[in-house]
Structure 1
Amino acid sequence: MNVESITSGAQLAGMTVPKLLNARRLERPDMVAFQQKRRGEWAAVTWAEYAQKVVNLADALQRAGLQRGDRVAIMGDASQEWLIADMATICAGGVMVGVYFTSSPEEVAYYLSDSGASFIFVGSENQLRIVLSSGQSKNVRKIIVLDPEWKPASESEAVISLGRFCAGPNVVVDDFLSAQIAQADAKDLTSIGYTSGTTGNPKGAMLTHLSILAGAHVVTTFGPGMRSDPHRVVVHLPMSHTVARAQATTLPLVSGIVPYFGESTADFAQTIKEVKPTFFMAPPRFYQRFAAQILSKVHSGTEKQQGDYQLAMEIARKALDDRKAGRGDPFISALFSTCRDRIFLPLLAEVGFDELKVPFTASAAMPSELMTLWQLWGLQLKECYGQTEMVGANLVQMADWPEAGTVGLPVIDKAWETAVLEDNEMIVRGPGLFVGYWNKPEETKFALRDGWLYTGDIVEIGPTGLFKLVDRKKEIINTSNGKSVSPTQIENEIRHSPYISEAAVIGEGKKYLTALIEVDATATMNWVKTRDPQVRQYSDLANSEVVVRLIEGEVAKANSRLARAEQVKAFRILPEELSPENGVMTPTRKKRRKQLMERYQPLIDTLYDESEDHLIKAEMKM
């Protein structure tokens, strides 16, 4: 079976994960399947070795009582053990349930209770403690610790190391996979992917073999040689996330991609510098952080170096304008190539992007100025759009030097269809769709209708056919003046500033809009150090007058690009960085608006003059 010959997701209708794993290990037994760094050294694992590890663990799960359709949870940092546990679960006929390693005991309890998991893999001692304190550990048969260096304080039948769980002679790969291939069907469930939970409890999207394989296949159309070339990709996001899981688990089954696992996702920046990925997909926040790092390097250079950079940027702007307008000036193009080689590539090397061929962003809207900056540096950064419910993507920017602010056109795979309703909600149909929400029949009926996924996202289609994401249908703000505005569009304008990493616009039922601002720690601390010596840490920024004036100017710039009804009248700088740990962000940095509003309600109250409301309430009590 030559997977490189597959040109449409529809051709995967009869495929299953064990079938493709078997094909890979037979076609390329000695080729590298993935690489893992441990104790400062990289170690390659071949497809033959990978298949053996998967089969040994899958067999152990079955011997421990796993039945087809049983759920198996995995909680841990990105690692080869996570990958092998995922593949082994699927090959044994189980259903993988990803749990973010940053989850609280309460969140773990929800995932385990909702899914009914009978086994759970945990990555470390700390995650083991979280699971044990969740109150749900009594309902699982085994807790298996993935950390190869984990030493249990005492032996236990309920908690066991991965090595001890898999102990025994190697299982015969041919026999095991042949038996599983005979039993598996493309419509069988492989996993439950929980949504980010930005508007309530996460929903478990049920994904079949076809869902995850067809979704991965879409990504193979994103760039040159994606199906056949050994593109290097650093797995830097939690593997519970759809993108990270696809990069590590399913994309290598249908492409030439080779995943690299660092010592920890906390060290991802150093890992990227070492690996020099050729394919990279990440939320905008990562590109913003790397851009700030590069700009910090530029601003700390000598006067001559800064002058050379500014000249190179002028040439890059001219070259980019020419390319987007369809003009071709050989002289400017040659100058731009020289600037890229001599000025920009060394800067890209500072963050490990100097060999990057296929860069993409997803999960949130990319600020147009940030995308343009990367393009000026010679990186053809592009956007795509997808959801957990469709695994892959249905919209992608494919053109060279794409238009910032759009998410491109429908994917070229004709097995996928995209349509827009009268109220501008986008709906999608294709082979990679989920088949429903676990234990939520009513939500399933609402999201899946006549084979179409109702995305809940509002889009606009420009004159050239390019799609622009406006906002989530549920997040449109209705002010007391009767105006309906998109908070996401306003937040994107505010986030154009290099000093602002996140913004949350407020105004539902209010007379005017306000915003909570998370400043970019790196860029702002560098800016303020010569202007306000009292600022020593992030929490000092909100109380610095010079920082407040800086952000005031940045918000004013954003307002100048917005309609009057969309302008932010007041703001507050948050005293802490937003994170999953304080409950206001998902692990992939999507805002949990309800939790964010609750946490910072006292700060929000200072943004509004509620005297009129108080008078009315007082009158009604009389």
Structure 2
Amino acid sequence: MSDMTHEPSFQDQGYISLTQLLERHAQTVPDEVAMRQKDMGIWQETTWRQYRDQTHAIAAGLVDLGIAHGEHVGIISENRQEWIVTQLGINSAAAVTCGIYPTSPANEVVHLLSSADCKVVFCEDQEQVDKVLEIRDKLPLLEHIVVFDAKGLYGYDANLWMTLDALIERGKTQLKHSPQAVTDRLAEQDPDDTALIVFTSGSTGLPKAAMISFRNIWSQMALLWDAVPSQTHQNILSYLPLCHVAEQAFSTMNAMARRMVVNFGESLRTIRTDLQEISPQMFFGVPRIWEKMQSELTVLGDRTGPLRRWLLHKALKSAQQRGAKPRAQWTGKQKLSYAFYRPFLYAPLLGYLGLARCNIAMTAAAPISPDLLAMFRGMGLPLIEIYGMTETTGAATLQPMDLNCQGRIGRAITGVESRVGEDGELLLRGPIIFKGYYKNDKATAETLQDGWLHTGDVVEEHEDGTLTIVDRKKDIIINAAGKNLSPSVIENTMKASPFIKECIVIGDQRKFLVALIQVDYDTVTTWAERQGLAYTTFKSLSENPKVRELVQNEVDKGNAQLAPVEQIKRFTLLTKELDHDDGEVTATMKVRRSTIAKQYEQQIEALFKESTAA
């Protein structure tokens, strides 16, 4: 492996598009492994030359289908090698890739495909094809459906769809007759052309189609190169949705810049096994992934004997206390405790999580509990918090490892300007800022003003120039006394408990705060079994009085860390898990507060009435 610090900086090498970078790798290291995909338990490898050849065949096939420069092509699929190959194939045809969450129901898919004017859509399998066929009459621009996995489709009308393999063969034939078909399209490509349309999460309304240019992507690659030290040809696991900008920045942009090996497991259900087999040197997870890992460690301890359980909990508590400070500030006693726990507890635990070789880990996409961040740092995992959004093409700020981990998002990365507006809103400017929203001039004008991106996030700026996210402007609670409260701070304090998966705080224009809480099924079932409690479903578990007592104790612990005005006075346990299909959360599992407020109005009002009566 070659150390990146010995090579010219990405910025100094000058602009290069994703497709040009792929061509460079195919020319300079053609037989080096670019991707691996697990199939029937076996990891299949793809080299940079094979990667490039496949994208060119897809591009030529799209040209043959009549896709013109700048037209839009959708992808509805879970993460797999075909996703990225198709994305680069679309771009090689000088067209625009529009990613759509595979969990999106048909009524959401019709909005996304129609608002993006997609002429072709690539579907992963029969499930996604069925969604598109269900809404086909509402998509007058849609001309072709291409399928990655055709299993179960052979009874369908063959005029309605084609396989990816058939498109590739069509492309190869096109290239025989017109060898310049793809290179001519690539020559037409302009740095300011739209490369990607990434839909916003839609937590406060319908998702908007954000346009990201090739120049935005190059800028993100260049800034990450300088901000996140790493080496070439390291392993990473791609498992978060590729239609999300964070995974694009990690598995497509950063991986292409650093010639990383992108690994695709068989499904989301095999992440634990995949991580253990790959043992990546770099890992990215949203807060929910890190919360899940924390819960796994708790379950691991709960399923062992009393002595081991006591020792594990003591070691994790020690890690949390130690990791709240940069390593350079650890006391002699803290260094000794780390040296004591590291070989026989921390190292095996990180190995169990699949992070034994991880030399840099990242979290982004939502606020994370400072205690959780501290615990992993104290175990020796260099976990940093990154802030970014769809409109910044990924990372915009980064938390340096030499600063205290106090829930801060660090400083704007080199090349990005930041300032705080009069109302506390974070404003950003730089080459990573998106072009605007497709066919939505009003929303674009509200978000981009005088070159500054209005993020919608309220921040606090510290003396050292670092920033702390207070909350989304739209989510700030103003209680009956006129006090501004941040629900995410309160919610993350509660979600630091391994027994609490979701917490939604309510209290706008009220005298106190209440909450809807969803238990973590895995950790609470393990606890319940140890207590000898009988349950049959999520509902029966949540309605058990002993489980309510457990959660009450966790809420009391959380409240002890909060100011009186921030404390949750009463809560109710949800009897079902929040669901994307029910519109309660987005595809990225962000809570849709307005929907929750309507759907659980009776339970919420009952909490305030009971509190008042008490």
SS in 2 for 1:606: helix
Question: What are the Cα deviations for residues 518-546 of structure 1, in whole angstroms up to 9, with x where unaligned?
Answer: 11111211122233522233212321111
Which residue is 1:143 aligned to? 145
Question: What are the Cα deviations for residues 35-71 of structure 1, in whole angstroms up to 9, with x where unaligned?
Answer: 1111111011000000000000000000000001111
Which residue is 1:210 aligned to? 215
Between 1:470-479 and 1:292-301, the stretch displaced more is: 292-301
Which residue is 1:535 aligned to? 535
Partner residue of 1:359 out of 358, 361, 365:
361
Shift of 1:562: 2.0
Structure 2 CA distance for partners of 1:311 and 1:116, relative to 1, 3 Å:
closer
Between 1:555-564 and 1:203-212, the stretch displaced more is: 555-564
TM-score scaled by length of structure 1: 0.91
Which residue is 1:447 aligned to? 447
Which residue is 2:484 aligned to? 484
Aligned: 1:164 with 2:166: yes
Q: 1-side partners of 2:252 and 2:108: how far apart?
A: 24
Structure 2 CA distance for partners of 1:323 and 1:174, relative to 1, 3 Å:
farther
Shift of 1:432: 1.2
Aligned: 1:296 with 2:299: yes
Which residue is 2:398 aligned to? 396
Structure 2 CA distance for partners of 1:366 and 1:10, relative to 1, 3 Å:
farther
Aligned: 1:184 with 2:182: no
Shift of 1:328: 5.7
Q: 1-side partners of 2:218 and 2:9: how far apart?
A: 13
Q: 2-side partners of 1:611 and 1:379: how far apart?
A: 43
Contact 2:494-2:555 within 8 A present in 1 as well: yes
1:471-550 counterparts in 2 under 5 A? 471-531=471-531, 533-550=533-550
SS in 1 for 2:98: strand
1:3-42 counterparts in 2 under 5 A? 5=7, 7=9, 12=14, 14-42=15-43
Structure 2 CA distance for partners of 1:27 and 1:349, relative to 1, 3 Å:
same
Which residue is 1:381 aligned to? 383
Contact 1:78-1:261 within 8 A present in 2 as well: yes
SS in 1 for 2:250: helix
Which residue is 2:75 aligned to? 74
Structure 2 CA distance for partners of 1:321 and 1:184, relative to 1, 3 Å:
closer
Question: Over aligned residues, Cα RMSD in angstroms?
Answer: 2.5
Aligned: 1:337 with 2:339: yes
Contact 2:198-2:209 within 8 A present in 1 as well: yes
SS in 1 for 2:222: helix
Structure 2 CA distance for partners of 1:423 and 1:73, relative to 1, 3 Å:
same
SS in 1 for 2:159: coil
Question: What are the Cα deviations for residues 525-579 of structure 1, in whole angstroms up to 9, with x where unaligned?
Answer: 1122233522233212321111111211221222222223222221111111123
Shift of 1:303: 4.3
Which residue is 2:290 aligned to? 287
Aligned: 1:278 with 2:278: no
Which residue is 1:224 aligned to? 229
Which residue is 1:85 aligned to? 86
Question: What are the Cα deviations for residues 66-109 of structure 1, in whole angstroms up to 9, with x where unaligned?
Answer: 00111101001111111111111111011111110001111011
Contact 1:10-1:214 within 8 A present in 2 as well: no
Q: 2-side partners of 1:558 and 1:335: how far apart?
A: 26
Contact 1:22-1:177 within 8 A present in 2 as well: no
Question: What are the Cα deviations for residues 258-317 of structure 1, in whole angstroms up to 9, with x where unaligned?
Answer: 211111233223222221121111111111111111222123233453455456457656
Which residue is 2:594 aligned to? 594
Which residue is 1:618 aligned to? none
Aligned: 1:118 with 2:119: yes
Aligned length: 605
Q: 2-side partners of 1:475 and 1:319: how far apart?
A: 33
SS in 2 for 1:582: coil
Between 1:369-378 and 1:469-478, the stretch displaced more is: 369-378
Between 1:543-552 and 1:97-106, the stretch displaced more is: 543-552
Aligned: 1:567 with 2:587: no
Structure 2 CA distance for partners of 1:535 and 1:6, relative to 1, 3 Å:
farther
Structure 2 CA distance for partners of 1:555 and 1:321, relative to 1, 3 Å:
closer
Which residue is 1:553 aligned to? 553
Contact 1:503-1:516 within 8 A present in 2 as well: yes
Structure 2 residue runs of 5 or longer lacking an equivalent are none
Structure 1 residue runs of 5 or longer lacking an equivalent are 613-622
Between 1:559-568 and 1:364-373, the stretch displaced more is: 559-568
Question: What are the Cα deviations for residues 175-209 of structure 1, in whole angstroms up to 9, with x where unaligned?
Answer: 45542332111001111111000000011111110
Contact 1:476-1:486 within 8 A present in 2 as well: yes
Between 1:313-322 and 1:88-97, the stretch displaced more is: 313-322
Q: Percent identity?
A: 29
Contact 1:18-1:180 within 8 A present in 2 as well: no
Contact 1:145-1:162 within 8 A present in 2 as well: yes
Q: 1-side partners of 2:300 and 2:530: how far apart?
A: 17
Between 1:514-523 and 1:382-391, the stretch displaced more is: 514-523
TM-score scaled by length of structure 2: 0.93
Contact 1:294-1:350 within 8 A present in 2 as well: no
Residue 286 of structure 1 aligns to which amino acid in structure 2? I
Question: What are the Cα deviations for residues 146-172 of structure 1, in whole angstroms up to 9, with x where unaligned?
Answer: 116564214523311111122254747
SS in 1 for 2:353: coil
Partner residue of 2:253 out of 250, 253, 269:
250
Partner residue of 2:329 out of 319, 326, 329:
326
Contact 1:385-1:396 within 8 A present in 2 as well: yes
Contact 1:375-1:401 within 8 A present in 2 as well: no
Residue 121 of structure 2 aligns to which amino acid in structure 1? I
Structure 2 CA distance for partners of 1:482 and 1:195, relative to 1, 3 Å:
same
SS in 1 for 2:38: strand
Structure 2 CA distance for partners of 1:556 and 1:472, relative to 1, 3 Å:
same
Residue 298 of structure 1 aligns to which amino acid in structure 2? G
Q: 2-side partners of 1:511 and 1:183: how far apart?
A: 61
Which residue is 1:616 aligned to? none
Shift of 1:318: 7.3
Structure 2 CA distance for partners of 1:160 and 1:475, relative to 1, 3 Å:
same
Shift of 1:369: 1.5
Contact 1:529-1:535 within 8 A present in 2 as well: no
Q: 2-side partners of 1:530 and 1:294: how far apart?
A: 16
Q: 2-side partners of 1:430 and 1:189: how far apart?
A: 17
